[in-house]
Copies of this chain bind each other. A is one copy, B any other.
């Protein structure tokens, strides 16, 4: 068991980009519609230097993009890129887990389907069997990105 091959693990690569509590809270705020430094800062009560650092990393990673909203003084707002918008699935999955296990199934916020108002579900599904799949029914196999270098871990 060697730590090196884990560098190729997609969970580890994801956590390298967003696996930090402040980063995930900043992203939650941006999904909620907070786009400006001062609004996010006031909402989270985060130190300005920490927020500047997290936003710069998210821009560098291509998860957020800076869009000017004022020329004088120069001011920017932060918007999700397609890469950032795709984080809605893991973020909502984390939220649902908290709704069930930390909020006794009485969530403070419900996320619903805009069209019909039904509370949404996040699940692992099999596209062929069209079924929800539970952890014991999941098997791992080497994927197309497996190399000699990372084949020690599965």
Contact = CB atoms under 8 A, between A and B. Distances in A.
B116 A13 contact: no
Contacts of A50: none
A89 interface: yes
A111 to B, nearest CB: 5
A57 interface: no
With most chain B CB atoms within 10 A of its CB, the pick from A12, A137, A142 is A12
A121 B137 CA distance: 13
A115 interface: yes
B126 A138 contact: no
Given A6-B44, A89-B123, A108-B150, A98 B145 contact: no
A89 B83 contact: no
Interface residues of A, number: 88
Given A25-B15, A110-B143, A89 B98 contact: no
A123 B125 contact: yes
Contacts of A69: none
A75 interface: no
A92 B124 contact: yes
Interface in A1-46: 1, 3, 6, 8-15, 17-21, 24-25, 28, 31-32, 39, 42-45
6 contacts: A10-B99, A89-B123, A110-B141, A110-B143, A113-B137, A116-B129
